[in-house]
């Protein structure tokens, strides 16, 4: 490698480190609703058909997952947590899991402790760890929305959506958290209760800040494309101050395709005022 290429390679490595540091400083982004990418009842169908292969590793934790090999000092815990966080935001989820493995109890009290552990366990599909950690976080009232999301993911993937709902619906003031409302909506969808799924998704859009990510549910599932529901969503969106052009344009296109003239006019007028 010549000096010019070597210089550029070191510059690139430096930029990557800077980008990772920036993510760490602002807190980054955790657990982006991975479980919602499953088609409705996919896990239920897999289990009913006896096809456990895709879930076997994630359902069964190894003994090392649930034990602590030795007591960590505060300094050691913070060092391992920092390394795990760096790996997570670099996209090295298994490496991040390696730093957290066997030491969960040492991280709960750290800032972002629940967020990082839940995100890493979700990305690596360690469903037993994800469920147990989420239950602990809820008991400590830490990272409640993401913990509810993790409960929904871990239990729905093994066909226990009803149990997930029972836990989540008992969270105090869950109606105030759009992320929890979306999780509830998806669980009801898995349970073939589309009316309740639509009700909670609409509430998520109404209270959400941000709210636009939840529109993706509409484009992914036919259950959310019923005319009356789309009317309610349109009326909720036109009250929002901030315009999210790409997502709202997709909704507008859907409304046009369904010949919903009044709703198309409302959305078009909203966009014309905010160009």
pLDDT at 15 over 50: no
pTM for the predicted model, two decimal places: 0.77
Average model confidence (pLDDT) across the chain:
81
DSSP state of 73: P
What pLDDT, in 10s, does the model give residues 219-251?
Answer: 999 999 999 999 999 999 999 988 899 999 999
pLDDT average, residue stretch 91-105: 94
3-state secondary structure of 148: helix
Indicate whether 189 pLDDT > 80: yes
- Coil/strand/helix, residue 244: coil
pLDDT higher than threshold 70 for residue 13: no
How far, in whole angstroms, is CA 224 from its chain's centroid?
Answer: 19
DSSP conformation class of 165: H
What integer pLDDT is reported at residue 125 of this predicted model? 93
Q: Is 88 exposed, middle or buried (0-12, 13-18, 19+ CB in 10 A)?
A: buried
Q: Which domains does the chain have, with CATH numbers?
A: 31-60+69-192 (1.25.40)
Q: How many CB atoms lie within 10 A of CB 56?
A: 9
Question: Please, what's the b/e burial string for 244-255 (b: 16 or more CB within 10 A of its CB; e: otherwise)?
Answer: beebbeebbebb
pLDDT at site 209: 82
């Amino acid at each position: 490698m010549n000096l010019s290429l070597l210089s550029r390679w070191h510059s690139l490595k430096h930029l990557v480190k800077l980008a990772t540091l920036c993510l760490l400083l602002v807190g980054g982004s955790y657990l982006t609703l991975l479980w919602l990418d499953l088609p409705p009842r996919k896990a239920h169908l897999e289990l009913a058909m006896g096809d456990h292969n895709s879930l076997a590793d994630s359902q069964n934790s190894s003994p090392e997952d649930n034990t602590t090999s030795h007591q960590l000092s505060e300094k050691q815990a913070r060092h391992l947590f920092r390394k795990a966080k760096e790996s997570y935001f670099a996209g090295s989820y298994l490496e991040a899991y390696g730093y957290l493995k066997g030491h969960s109890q040492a991280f709960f009290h750290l800032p972002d402790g629940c967020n990082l552990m839940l995100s890493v366990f979700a990305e690596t599909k360690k469903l037993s760890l994800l469920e147990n950690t989420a239950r602990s976080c809820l008991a400590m009232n830490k990272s409640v929305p993401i913990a509810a999301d993790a409960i929904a993911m871990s239990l729905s993937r093994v066909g226990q959506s009803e149990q997930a709902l029972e836990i989540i619906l008992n969270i105090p003031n869950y109606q105030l958290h759009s992320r929890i409302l979306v999780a509830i909506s998806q669980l009801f969808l898995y349970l073939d209760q589309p009316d309740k799924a639509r009700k909670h998704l609409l509430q998520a859009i109404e209270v959400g800040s941000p709210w636009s990510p939840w529109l993706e549910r509409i484009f992914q599932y036919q259950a959310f494309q019923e005319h009356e529901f789309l009317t309610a969503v349109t009326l909720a969106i036109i009250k929002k101050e901030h315009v999210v052009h790409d997502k709202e344009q997709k909704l507008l296109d859907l409304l046009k395709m369904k010949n919903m003239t009044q709703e198309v006019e409302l959305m078009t007028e909203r966009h014309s005022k905010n160009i």
